[in-house]
Amino acid sequence: MATTIKVNGQSQELAKPIPLSELLILNRIEQPDMVSIQLNGEFVYKEDYETLINDGDEVDFLYFMGGGNSITN
């Protein structure tokens, strides 16, 4: 039975429920240390990345971004 989830707002079909750690690989997240994961609106701690994704779940990958302005006097 297929599992349908949303990843960053886009539908994605999985052959079966998989852990979040596998979803990172499947979505080719190159720097997982620079990504936070939300599962159904709740942040997931890295030690919980083995949590299985279930049908209907919504996953968001949130990327840390640097930048800003520097003011020179």
Sorted by sequence, the CB contacts under 8 Å of residue 21 that are 6+ apart come out as 49, 50
Classify residue 73: in a domain, yes or no. Answer: no
Classify residue 45: in a domain, yes or no. Answer: yes
Residue 71, pLDDT > 70, answer: no
Residue 73, pLDDT > 60, answer: no
The beta strands (E) that lie in 1-41 are given as 3-7, 10-14, 35-39
Task: Look at residue 72 in the predicted model and tell me its pLDDT.
Answer: 59
Whether the CB-CB separation of 59 and 38 falls below 8 Å is answered with: yes
The whole domain housing 57 covers: 3-63
Classify residue 71: in a domain, yes or no. Answer: no
Provide the 3-class DSSP secondary structure of residue 23. helix
Residue 63, pLDDT > 90, answer: no
Count of domains forming the chain = 1
Kindly report, residue by residue over 2-56, the tens digit of the pLDDT: 899 999 999 999 999 999 999 999 999 888 888 999 999 999 999 999 999 999 9
Classify residue 68: in a domain, yes or no. Answer: no
Task: Look at residue 69 in the predicted model and tell me its pLDDT.
Answer: 61
Q: Which domain CATH number covers 15? A: 3.10.20.30
Tally of CA atoms within 13 A in the half-sphere of 73 that contains its CB: 0
